[in-house]
């Protein structure tokens, strides 16, 4: 798009002295419900026309830099085509995750059918906008304690400061690091931990958010409003967030304690697996998303990779047999071997080191390293027997406001059992990064009595061998899968149907369809079986 720019604003208005203004298009170039990328002062800008009005925000998603003009638009919301982050096109505010920051918002003027966009010179320095935050005020005797250092705790802390909470915020984490992007660990195991920190130390200092690393809560006294830490110290609180996440389920078989048997949870775990597998024989136990991502990552680094799964194909229950077969075939082409409908009988070693994995089928797999990806366990032992109610899986029970059975105790993240509004408040436990962030935000607003309730649409992605599979909704109990495109060509859209209603969707190389589905689900626009079966999918982009 060609543009004509002035450094003082096209109208020469004194108020525009700090802006760069460009004529970007004619008003007739953009119809209602359409968007396009334009450039102003070297900044990529998303220009949107909705309800007869033009608006302009940054065009790069603040999570991973995806071009939002390639995403999905419905009303005043645009969703990222890659990972589903959602932004308000009027304000630029992030309203759904992943990601932390909002988009810069720009001024639009129309003169003689010409559209002008003005970008503040400060906005030219960054494609992201950090929301204004308050800080602690001396004399305010109120403490919010956050247990856990993941995305839920971080969003809770940031939201409190964005809403001008003036008390003390303390985040306690057993991790060695400040909050970091855990989703990278199974995709890039040798990642530099400096590159996955979600915020730098200066950010926490600037906004008076205390982060205590390498500390673990061992008990909670909800009557006294205090927690005891692993070092014996006691910390009082006025409001508490439980966001302790989950830990990997360990193998329960002879030899599970041998050197070389590993699970993946921390950057140190990831690096050790990367180093141990280089040029060696690796066996992955479990065809979870983490297990399959690990197999994909190691496929060109280990001497051999074998995957053991209990189902006939990976993701058989969640994504369906055809998609599972496709992912398995992709890895087979990289010389990854699969042993499906099988499980581990024992792990044998020599001098304390893993040497082979024996399966119940009788197969014997040579192994130098065994990586277990067989599910997770909620980190709630410190709550057992207390006033905070747990479900049968030991997840913390919370309502839509993320409040637990104890009024001043809240919960967020993978450790949470919560009512999913998308599925008529069915109680679920979903370990998605995006949901953890949403829950952390809602918990903070609930602490401040803002009447917030969780209304997020689950959105998930996995990356294997450079291919990104996207998923939205909640497909448990689906009875049919309606496919568009061709799975064998690695380009498809799958609708998951239950009771003649689409409850979830997945895609590969079919952007931005999953984000469009997520937008419609968020707007509570029912997607019927008939719509999914239609050859014409234009209904996905209708208002």
Axis crossing angle, helix 433-447 with helix 151-162, rounded to the nearest 10: 40
Report DSSP state, residue 390: B
Q: What is the dihedral of CA 57, 58, 62, 66, to 10 degrees?
A: 110
Cα–Cα distance measured from residue 242 to residue 146, given in angstroms and rounded to the nearest whole number: 6
Query: How are strands ordered across the β-sheet holding 426-428?
Result: 396-397, 416-420, 426-428
Pairing of strands 86-88, 77-79: antiparallel
- Residue 159 Cα distances to 184, 245, 440, 450, angstroms: 24, 19, 8, 12
Q: Check residue 18 and give its pLDDT.
A: 87
pLDDT of residue 123: 85
Measured in whole angstroms, the distance separating CA 161 from the mean position of its chain's CA atoms is 22
Q: Which of 170, 180, 179, 295 is nearest to 241 (CA)?
A: 170
- Strand ranges inside 97-136, DSSP E: 105-111, 114-120
Q: Report how far residue 436's alpha carbon sits from residue 433's, in angstroms, rounded to the nearest whole number.
A: 5
Give Dmax (Cα) for the chain: 82
Q: What is the DSSP letter of 201?
A: H
**In angstroms, what CA-CA distances link 244 with 149, 156, 382?**
8, 13, 10
C-alpha distances out from residue 366 to 79, 83, 312, 411, Å: 46, 37, 22, 43
DSSP states along 319-345? T-HHHHHHHHHHHHTTTEEEE-S--EE
- pLDDT value of residue 466: 95
What order of strands is seen across the sheet that includes strand 217-221? 217-221, 226-229, 234-236
DSSP string, 227-288: EEETTS-EEE-SEEEE---EEEPPP-STTTTSBTEEE--SHHHHHHHHHHHTTSEEEEE--S
Judge whether 512 and 79 are in contact, CB under 8 Å: yes
CB 442 within 8 A of CB 421: no
pLDDT score, position 16: 61
Residues 6+ apart with CB under 8 A from 275: none
**CA neighbours within 13 Å on the CB side: how many for 460?**
18
pLDDT of residue 130: 96
Terminal CA-CA length for the chain: 26
Contact between residue 280 and residue 369 where contact means Cβ atoms under 8 Å apart? yes
- CA separation for the pair 169, 468 (Å, rounded): 37
Q: pLDDT tens digits for 288-316? A: 999 999 999 999 999 999 999 999 999 99
Place of tokens 């992709």: 330
**Can the peptide bond before residue 512 be classed as cis, meaning omega within 30 degrees of 0?**
yes
Task: Go through the chain and tell me how many residues it has.
Answer: 543
Cα dist. 418→96, 209, 367, 392, 478 in Å? 18, 27, 40, 13, 20
Domains (range + CATH), the chain: 4-125 (2.102.10.10), 143-247+378-447 (3.50.50.60), 261-374 (3.50.50.60), 466-541 (3.30.390.30)
Q: Are strands 217-221 and 168-172 parallel, antiparallel or unpaired?
A: unpaired
d(CA 303, CA 145): 47
Considering Cα of 156, then 157, then 159, then 163, what sign does the dihedral take? positive
Q: Residue 276's closest CA among 287, 295, 262? A: 262
CA 526-518-163 angle, to 5 degrees, is 115
What residues of the chain score a pLDDT lower than 70? 1-16
Q: Is 150 exposed, middle or buried (0-12, 13-18, 19+ CB in 10 A)?
A: buried
297 secondary structure, DSSP code? H
């Amino acid at each position: 798009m060609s543009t004509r720019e002035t450094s003082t604003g096209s109208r020469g208005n004194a108020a525009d002295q700090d802006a760069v203004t460009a004529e970007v298009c004619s008003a007739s170039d953009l119809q209602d419900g359409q968007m396009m990328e334009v450039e102003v002062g070297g900044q990529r800008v998303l220009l949107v026309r909705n309800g007869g009005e033009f608006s302009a925000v940054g065009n790069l998603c603040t999570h991973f830099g995806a071009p939002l003009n390639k995403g999905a638009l419905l009303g005043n919301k645009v969703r990222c085509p890659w990972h589903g982050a959602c932004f308000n096109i009027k304000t630029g505010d992030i309203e759904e995750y992943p990601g932390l920051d909002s988009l810069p918002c720009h001024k639009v003027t129309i003169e003689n059918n010409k559209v002008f966009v003005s970008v503040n010179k400060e906005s030219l320095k960054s494609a992201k906008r950090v929301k204004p935050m308050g800080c602690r005020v001396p004399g305010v005797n109120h403490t919010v304690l956050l247990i856990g250092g993941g995305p839920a705790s971080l969003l809770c802390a940031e939201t409190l400061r964005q809403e001008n909470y003036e008390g003390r915020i303390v985040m306690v984490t057993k991790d060695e690091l400040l909050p970091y992007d855990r989703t990278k660990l199974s995709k890039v195991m040798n990642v530099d931990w400096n590159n996955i920190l979600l915020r730098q130390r200066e950010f926490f200092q600037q906004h008076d958010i205390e982060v205590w690393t390498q500390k673990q809560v061992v008990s909670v006294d909800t009557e006294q409003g205090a927690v005891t830490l692993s070092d014996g110290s006691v910390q009082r609180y006025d409001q508490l967030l439980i966001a302790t996440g989950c830990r990997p389920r360990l193998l329960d078989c002879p030899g599970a304690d041998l050197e070389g048997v590993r699970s993946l949870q921390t950057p140190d775990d990831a690096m050790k697996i990367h180093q141990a597998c280089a040029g060696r024989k690796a066996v992955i136990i479990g065809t979870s998303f983490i297990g399959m991502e690990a197999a994909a990552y190691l496929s060109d680094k280990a001497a051999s990779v074998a995957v053991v799964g209990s189902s006939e194909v990976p993701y058989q229950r969640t994504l369906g047999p055809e998609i599972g077969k496709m992912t398995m075939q992709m890895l087979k082409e990289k010389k990854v071997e699969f042993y499906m409908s099988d499980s581990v009988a024992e792990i044998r070693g020599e001098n304390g080191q893993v040497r082979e994995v024996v399966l119940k089928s009788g197969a014997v797999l040579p192994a130098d390293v065994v990586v277990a990806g067989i599910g997770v366990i909620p980190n709630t032992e410190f709550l057992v027997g207390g006033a905070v109610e747990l479900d049968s899986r030991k997840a913390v029970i919370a309502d839509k406001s993320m409040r637990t059975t104890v009024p001043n105790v809240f919960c967020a993240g993978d450790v949470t059992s919560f009512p999913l509004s998308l599925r008529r408040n069915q109680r679920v436990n979903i370990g998605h990064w995006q949901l953890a962030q949403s829950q952390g935000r809602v918990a903070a607003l609930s602490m401040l009595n803002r009447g917030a309730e969780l209304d997020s649409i689950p959105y998930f992605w996995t990356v294997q061998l450079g291919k990104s599979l996207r998923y939205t909704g909640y497909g448990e109990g689906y009875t049919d899968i309606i496919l568009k495109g061709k799975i064998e060509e690695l380009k498809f859209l799958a609708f998951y149907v239950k009771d003649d209603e689409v409850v979830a969707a997945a895609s590969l190389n079919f952007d931005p369809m999953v984000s469009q589905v997520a937008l419609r689900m968020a707007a509570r626009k029912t997607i019927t079986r008939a719509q999914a079966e239609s050859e014409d999918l234009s209904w996905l982009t209708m208002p």
